[in-house]
A = this chain, B = another copy of it.
Amino acid sequence: MEKKRNVSMAVIRRLPKYHRYLQELMKNDVDRISSKELSEKIGFTASQIRQDLNCFGDFGQQGYGYNVKDLYNEISLILGLGNEYNTVIIGAGNIGQAIANYSNFDKLGFKLNAIFDVNPKLIGLKIRDVEILDIDNLDQFLKNNKIDLGVICVTRTNAQSICDILIKNEVKGIWNFAPVDLHAPEDVKVENVHLSESLLTLTYLLNGRR
């Protein structure tokens, strides 16, 4: 079904939202939904919804709408869910610990293999049965274990050197919480969560300058 053609990042960023709303509909035992009804819930126009979903296949049916469960399953597949992602977290500070503790990520297929930190007080402790290891062992750990995803929760100044170790060891996905733009080759996918930038967007809006 899937067309796999060049899809814009804007469309891609909307997919998880479709996924979330469809999950909600399934919970509420809704079997089918028109693009118009979906539009009222999700806040995109019906035409945008049809366009977005058409990037990946012909999911809707004129006069019927979308089968909620089928569409949910298709979008799950498109998003790469159903796979297992071996994951390490680097940096066991506030954010690193929060991510490690977030059990929802397990359900999405993320298996936390190890956590790394420099702080001797943290090394050896466990978060949800996963040990915090010495960051000096990261390189060797990655050589011994096939890891898909690295979550960078270290300081700004250390983030690129950690990123380089991940890249050298063939980690292809990086979820970056450090307030810095990382340099990575094309085949390594970096997704940033820049919390301060999100917060500053809010202060801008609060100051009524829009």
Contacts and interface: CB of A to CB of B under 8 A. Distances in A.
A124 interface: no
Question: Chain A interface: which size bin?
Answer: 35 or more
A30 interface: no
A206 B173 contact: yes
A1 interface: no
A165 interface: no
A6 B196 CA distance: 23
B193 A193 contact: yes
Nearest to A95: B98
A80 B201 contact: no
A95 B15 CA distance: 24
Contacts of A185: none
Nearest to A197: B16
Contacts of A12: 201, 204-205, 210
Contacts of A175: 198-199, 202
A206 B193 contact: no
